[in-house]
């Protein structure tokens, strides 16, 4: 691969080593040797074990569970690289934690996504590469160049390989996700439906109505994050009650906390497809109706283009 900012180096934290190695294989690069470990009191210590002076370094780290530990790893790795004289440091964050806290929801509540953006910037990061931000405006929280990639090309390719397109309907699980769902529906020339829901409290949702005629269609729910799984389970029930043939879900980030995997396993969802932006737990890996899509090639190509100072946005034209 070509580079204009020094030799390209990949450094990985502990959040998703499997994905980091896959990205390295796609680029034909070995991960830079680094030690990311804990002291007895869980204090994080980082040591970069190779020369990175003058290098274009990409730190691959999702800020997934345990979110705060993985965020601190990212910050400390960045500081170590800056002090080791790396020429440019790009934080590759397949899943950006705290993204759901992108605005004030009450009089005295924080905008935590902005705080985290400030921390990453002040640590010494030169640019950020992330995937399917929960809210697009988070790009503006960073005072450094930020590329927000989209998993939709990977999903579209998989959908075209597995389904008869003429019998598909794309469904947004809430009004806020309509733009995302409409974009995918346009790519596969499918009609669009919307789930109208009321969320009584965080982590719980109640489906109220299905907007659109889904009778006879195979429905594909599209969203960026699945956490408790309650929204998807309720949406699948509502769609089937309105005459849908089968219900599938394509979600970028499989947070799947708590009993979410068991909830999906016991649901009427035919299949939940998630990307490997978050390393799946054993419970998720063993759930029969959850399948993983690799985004290593997408992120690898974005890194390749960034290193060569080429367009990243043209990946999604």
Residue 313 burial (C-beta neighbours within 10 Å; 0-12, 13-18, 19+): exposed
In a domain, 36, yes or no: yes
Joined tokens for residue 147: 């590329």
Write down the catalytic residue from 197, 268, 270, 286. 197
155 and 181 in contact (C-beta within 8 Å)? Answer: no
Q: Is 92 contained in some domain?
A: yes
C-alpha span between 235 and 239 (Å, rounded): 6
Q: Is 197 considered catalytic here? A: yes
**Residue 204, pLDDT score:** 58
Can you tell me which residue has the tokens 């309720």? 234
Domain harbouring 269, CATH code: 3.40.50.2020
Return the pLDDT at 228: 93
At a CB cut-off of 8 Å and minimum separation 6, what does 282 contact?
Answer: none
| Alpha-carbon gap, residue 76 to 251, rounded angstroms | 30
* Binding-site residue positions for Mg(2+): 134, 174
* Domain count within the chain: 2
Domain hosting residue 281, numbered range: 152-294
Binding-site residues for ATP, in ranges, read 41-43, 100-101
Tokens 């089937």 -> residue: 240
In a domain, 316, yes or no: no
Q: What is the pLDDT along the chain (317 residues), one digit of tens a residue?
A: 656 777 999 999 999 999 999 999 999 999 999 999 999 999 999 999 999 999 999 999 999 999 999 999 999 999 999 999 999 999 999 999 999 999 998 899 999 999 999 999 999 999 999 999 998 889 999 999 999 999 999 999 999 999 999 999 999 998 888 999 999 999 999 999 999 876 666 655 566 789 999 999 999 999 999 999 998 999 999 999 999 999 999 999 999 999 999 999 999 999 999 999 999 999 999 999 999 999 999 999 999 999 999 999 988 87
CB 51 within 8 A of CB 33: no
Known binding-site positions: 41-43, 100-101, 134, 174, 199, 223, 227-231
Question: What gap in Å lies between CA 208 and CA 195, rounded to an integer?
Answer: 8
Give the containing element (helix H, strand E) for 117: helix 112-122
- How far is residue 68's CA from residue 114's CA, in Å, rounded to a whole number? 15
pLDDT of residue 105: 87
Looking at the structure, do residues 85 and 161 belong to the same domain, yes or no? Answer: no
Q: What is the reported pTM?
A: 0.93
- The confidence score (pLDDT) of residue 277 equals 98
């Amino acid at each position: 691969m070509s580079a204009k900012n020094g030799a390209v180096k990949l450094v990985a934290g502990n959040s998703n080593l499997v994905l980091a190695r896959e990205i390295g294989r796609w680029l034909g690069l070995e991960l830079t040797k680094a030690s990311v470990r804990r002291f007895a009191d869980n204090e994080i210590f980082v040591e970069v074990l190779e020369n990175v002076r003058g290098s274009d370094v990409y730190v691959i780290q999702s800020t997934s569970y345990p979110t705060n530990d993985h965020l601190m790893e990212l910050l400390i790795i960045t500081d170590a690289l800056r002090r080791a004289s790396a020429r440019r440091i790009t934080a590759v964050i397949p899943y950006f934690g705290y993204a759901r806290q992108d605005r004030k929801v009450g009089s005295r509540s924080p905008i935590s996504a902005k705080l985290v953006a400030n921390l990453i910037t002040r640590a010494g990061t030169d640019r950020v590469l992330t995937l399917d931000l929960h809210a697009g405006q988070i790009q503006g929280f960073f005072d450094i160049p930020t590329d927000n990639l989209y998993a939709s090309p990977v999903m579209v390719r998989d959908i075209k390989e597995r389904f008869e397109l003429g019998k598909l309907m794309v469904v947004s699980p809430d009004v806020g996700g309509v733009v995302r769902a409409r974009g995918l529906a346009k790519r596969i020339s499918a009609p669009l439906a919307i789930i109208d829901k009321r969320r009584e409290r965080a982590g719980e949702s109640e489906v109220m109505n299905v907007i659109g005629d889904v009778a006879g269609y195979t429905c594909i729910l599209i969203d960026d994050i699945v956490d408790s799984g309650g929204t998807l389970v309720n949406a699948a029930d509502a769609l089937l009650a309105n005459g849908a043939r089968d219900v599938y879900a394509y979600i970028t980030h499989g947070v799947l906390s708590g009993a979410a995997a068991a909830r999906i396993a016991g649901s009427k969802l035919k299949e939940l497809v998630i990307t490997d932006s978050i390393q799946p737990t054993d419970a998720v890996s063993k759930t029969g109706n959850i399948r993983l899509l690799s985004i290593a090639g997408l992120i690898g190509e974005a890194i390749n283009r960034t290193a060569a100072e080429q367009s990243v946005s043209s990946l999604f034209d």
